[in-house]
Amino acid sequence: MNKKEVVSFAKANKVEIVDLKFCDFPGLWQHFSIPAKAFTEDLFEEGIGFDGSSIRGFQKIQESDMLLVLDPRATFLDPFTELPTLNVICNIKDPITGQPYTRDPRFVAQKAEQYLKGTRIADTSYWGPEIEFYIFDHVRFDQTYNEAFYQVDSVEGFWNSGDDTRPNLGYKPRYKEGYFPVPPMDHMQDIRSEMVKILQQVGIEVEVHHHEVGTAGQTEIDMRYQSLTHMADQVLLYKYVVKNVARKRGKTVTVMPKPIFMDNGSGMHVHQSLWKRGKNVFYDPNNYGLISDTARYYIGGLLKHADALCAFIAPTTNSYRRLVPGYEAPINLVYSQRNRSACVRIPMYSASEKAKRLEFRTPDPSCNPYYAFPAMLMAGLDGIENKIEPPEPMDKDLYDLPPEEKKNVRSVVGSLDAALDALEQDHEFLLKGDVFTQDVIDTWIAYKREKEVDAIRLRPHPYEFALYYDV
């Protein structure tokens, strides 16, 4: 829709509130609302002001005035509010220079799409993230000077198999055995179906939903692929929907990569492909995995820059509780067809050109998609431009390699701190075309180190008391 059509749409649907949404620096939606009578076509030209110094990672207080620029192509009716509410996703602009704000994550995604066209390698990239998450019945956590704890619970959690404090009907998925059981073992069928219904209602095309491997309600709902910025918008809308559906049903959703010890974490395997004039440039029926040389070089770029990419695609300290051996964790920096123990898998469900893509399995859903997707695209394009050859494909279980073979397989970094160090040393590929700026990279590194890495490092861990209290 254009601006005139959006304003008419709001009137036709008797909208009373217009909610303006934008993405903060780490990757969460922020918002404020205006009455529908203030929603005019002029607003699309003038923008609307907000305090950028109160948003994480944005402005200093002496330069706090910023503008939201409404995108008429990114709107949806809110399925959760009591009053009829139209949501509009926005970009951010500097009111002094009139230029797009370089720390606006959505602007980074849009620049990446423009850069891709400028390379003439392709004109469109398609993205299909498989987002996993847990649905819990209860969560509590706290950190004080003398106490630290967390607790999550689910009626479906296998740890409740012996619970006698309430009626216990059994049917709890065993650890790492939650993949595809039917109800009543799968307690989450109806809530997932409601999530799918609402996702479709707000314009997201869904392909499949199912229980995932973990006990205690691990879930996956897959969206149909979309272009880069559009899919990044959908990832945040997806999180908004699944969290609010859960809350309405008295449950809670988390996309934390590893909320449960000794069971599978939640990943975001990202399917990606490049297209030019309607042709899939990743497809070649005569090569290994039916992928082209271009696709192989793209994989080479992903694997070469994987450590630096981790700062954006696995961007929390908790991400590295997931990226460990033994939990379908994609830590091995090789590629393979069909093989889920490799970081990059070439799906082989179909031999058709339209289905040919690669799946990068390292990312998780704690990421900011407006940074994660462009970072992966830029790494892949660097691989194509420099014809970077990946290691030879390995069609074997990489989790069970003999030591003499395992030592030759490179793994991803083991901590957020190491990923940030890698990004600090390896980010020239991100600066091409001004897609990422040096300021964005420096601010990301500084923010993550201060607010997350150092914050965790300074606090005693509860398990340290079990290890060391009696020393």
Question: Which residues are identified as catalytic?
Answer: 51, 130, 132, 212, 220, 269, 340, 359, 361
User: What is the residue type of 215?
Assistant: T
d(CA 148, CA 463): 10
283-309 burial: b if 16+ Cβ within 10 Å, else e: bbeeeebbbbebbbbbbbbbbbbbbbb
68 touches 29 (CB < 8 A) = no
SS3 for 111-143 is HHHHHHHHHCCCCEEEEEEEEEEEEECEEEEEE
The span from the CA of 121 to the CA of 113, in Å, is 12
Element holding 470 (H helix, E strand)? none
Between CA 353 and CA 347 the distance in angstroms is 12
What letter does residue 355 receive in the DSSP assignment? G
> Quick one: which of 384, 386, 193 has its CA closest to 272?
384
Greatest C-alpha distance within the chain:
71
The tokens of 170 are what?
Answer: 């059994």
Residue of 438, 448, 192, 151 lying closest to 313 (CA atoms): 448
Pair 130, 268: CB distance under 8 Å: yes
Please answer whether residues 388 and 293 qualify as being in contact, where contact means their C-beta atoms are separated by less than 8 angstroms. Answer: no
- Residue 242, token pair as written in the block: 């699944």
Please name the residues in contact with 432: beta carbons below 8 A apart, sequence gap of 6 or more.
115, 378, 381, 382
Q: Specify whether the CB–CB gap between 226 and 168 falls below 8 A.
A: no
Q: Rounded to whole angstroms, how far apart are CA atoms 445 and 236?
A: 22
CA-to-CA dists, residue 317 to 176, 264, 336, 440, angstroms = 23, 16, 28, 20
Q: Which amino acid is at 344?
A: V
Beta strands in 46-159 (DSSP E): 48-51, 65-77, 85-93, 124-136, 138-143, 148-153
Q: What does the block give as tokens for 216?
A: 């205690």
User: Given the DSSP bridges, would you call strands 85-93 and 17-23 parallel, antiparallel or unpaired?
Assistant: parallel
Please tell me whether residue 423 adopts helix, strand or coil conformation. Answer: helix
Q: Which residues contact 428 (CB under 8 A, 6 or more apart)?
A: none
